[in-house]
Every structure is written in C-alpha cells, then in structure tokens.
C-alpha cells in the first residue's frame, strides 16, 4: 500500500470531507501545488479554485473559495470559508449564477460560479 496522508477539508460551518489520500492538488496564490505524503511542512494561502484529492478509490473534487492549506506530520488541512464537494454542487444553479454574474459584470461571483462548474466537470 502506498503511503497515505490524512486530509481534513473543513468549511467555516461544517466539516466537508475527511479521509486518507495519496495526493492532494490545490491552487495557492502562487500556483497549483501538489502534496504527497512526506511533504515538507507547508502553510499556503488558497485561491478560489478546484481541489483534487486522489484516494485509493478514486478522485474527490471540491470547489474551494478562499482559505488556506496546511500540512504537517502527514496531516493535511484544507480550511476554507466555503467548500463544496463536486457532487454537492447544483450544476443548473451554478450555471444560472454564472450567467447572472456575467450580465452584472461581477468578476468575483463569475469566478466562484466558474470554479464550481469546473469542479463538477473535472476540467482544470
């Protein structure tokens, strides 16, 4: 069995996902970062973007808005103000939000909706 790291994905008001993973890819302010077991202790600021957690039984994708990533002792925490798993995301609602954001030229809202949609489709 490959080495695994323990992942906790928590949002401000709930714990979203936790479990073992072999690789976690997240987007920090200075670019995408991949964390595998045994990584150097790390603390980074997350950008709005999709997070991919590779586990033994497949990938878990989540849309994360704001927050940070911290890794130490093979324990990884992704702490976000808002985090949603891909299968929790309502695609139609996100599409509507995207249209609305585009028509109102609200860049932040557009980005949020876009991240949600990309998390669902799995396109990075």
By the criterion CB under 8 A, which residues form the site for another protein?
8, 10-15, 28-30, 33, 40-45, 66-70, 72-73, 77, 79, 81
**Sequence-ordered list of residues with C-beta below 8 angstroms from that of 40, at least 6 positions apart, any chain:** none
Minimum distance from residue 57 beta carbon to another protein (Å):
23
Q: Which is nearer to another protein, 81 or 104 (CB)?
A: 81
Q: Which is nearer to another protein, 21 or 120 (CB)?
A: 21
Minimum distance from residue 72 beta carbon to another protein (Å):
5
Q: Which is nearer to another protein, 47 or 110 (CB)?
A: 47
Minimum distance from residue 81 beta carbon to another protein (Å):
7
Q: Which is nearer to another protein, 11 or 60 (CB)?
A: 11
Minimum distance from residue 38 beta carbon to another protein (Å):
13
For every residue of 42-101, which 3-state class applies, written as one string?
A: EEEEECCEEEEEEECCEEEEEEEECCEEEEECCEEEEECCEEEEHHHCCHHHHHHHHHHH
């Amino acid at each position: 069995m490959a080495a695994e790291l323990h992942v906790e994905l928590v949002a401000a008001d709930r714990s979203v996902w936790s479990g073992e993973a072999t690789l976690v890819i997240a987007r920090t302010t200075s670019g995408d970062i991949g964390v595998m077991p045994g990584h150097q202790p790390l603390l980074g600021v997350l950008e709005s973007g999709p997070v991919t957690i590779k586990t033994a039984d497949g990938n878990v994708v989540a849309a994360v808005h704001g927050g940070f990533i911290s890794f130490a002792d093979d324990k990884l925490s992704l702490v976000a103000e808002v985090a949603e798993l891909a299968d929790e995301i309502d695609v139609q609602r996100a599409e509507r939000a995207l249209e609305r954001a585009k028509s109102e030229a609200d860049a932040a809202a557009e980005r949020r909706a876009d991240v949600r949609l990309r998390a669902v489709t799995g396109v990075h």
